[in-house]
Amino acid sequence: MNSEITTLEQLRVECLNCQKCGLAATRTNVVFGVGNPNARVLFIGEGPGENEDLQGEPFVGRGGQLLDKMLDAVDLSRKENIYIANIVKCRPPHNRDPQPEEQEHCINWLRAQTKLIAPKIIVCLGRISAQKLIKQNFRVTAEHGMWFEKGGIQFMGTFHPAALLRNPNNKPAAMSDFIALRDKINELCPETYTGSGLV
């Protein structure tokens, strides 16, 4: 990666040309990420699906609509006060799990994004993201909503929106994770809600 990169926009331009793994051959668009580059809260999903691949933006399908509703319930918005990205930036064919080598190739983009955004809180959406970023044996059903400190950042894993569409019984548990997130934001980075320092 070019060491002269100092902004998220420069990083995005570089990422759009990535050919580090086989997913480059089948993608329509690189899905770099969306949101406020000064956000204190970063959401990380797994990888783009079909709609995201076509539109170049994370979480724009049915799962994304559910995510936006849950965000709205705790006064968060991808247009204003958070940033959303994925572990892998290109769609795995037929929406299979991203392979460990693909995740390894791609994680440097996410590391660089995280360095530039410098979030206080990272929310992992689903197993793949939580196992990559929190711990290898993370179990969403048992450990969702718990806080893990790593390198000065607070991490929480919660249900993937697509999993909530398949199993709506978990929606109340997911919503209580978002309420715990709101409390953590008020404790660590209330500017998320007041807007000061995020522009």
Residues that bind ligand URA (CB under 6 A): 45-49, 52, 58-59, 63, 86, 162
Q: How far is the CB of 75 from ligand URA (least distance, A)?
A: 22
Non-local (6+) Cβ contacts of 69 within 8 A are none
DSSP code of residue 41:
E
Q: What angle do CA 143, 145, 148 make, to 5 degrees?
A: 75
> How many C-beta atoms surround the C-beta of residue 25 within 10 A?
9
Q: How far is the CB of 155 from ligand URA (least distance, A)?
A: 16
Beta strand 34-35 with 83-86 is antiparallel
CA distance 120 to 81: 13
Please report where in the chains the tokens 């409390």 appear, as a residue.
Answer: 183
Tell me whether residue 76 or residue 189 sits nearer to ligand URA (CB atom). Answer: 76
Tell me whether residue 23 or residue 189 sits nearer to ligand URA (CB atom). Answer: 23
Closest chain position to ligand URA (CB): 45
Q: How far is the CB of 6 from ligand URA (least distance, A)?
A: 26
Report CA-CA distances (Å) from 193 to 21, 81, 155: 38, 7, 19
Please report where in the chains the tokens 């993937």 appear, as a residue.
Answer: 160
Tell me whether residue 52 or residue 189 sits nearer to ligand URA (CB atom). Answer: 52
Q: How far is the CB of 197 from ligand URA (least distance, A)?
A: 27
Tell me whether residue 91 or residue 189 sits nearer to ligand URA (CB atom). Answer: 91
Q: How far is the CB of 164 from ligand URA (least distance, A)?
A: 12
Tell me whether residue 87 or residue 121 sits nearer to ligand URA (CB atom). Answer: 87
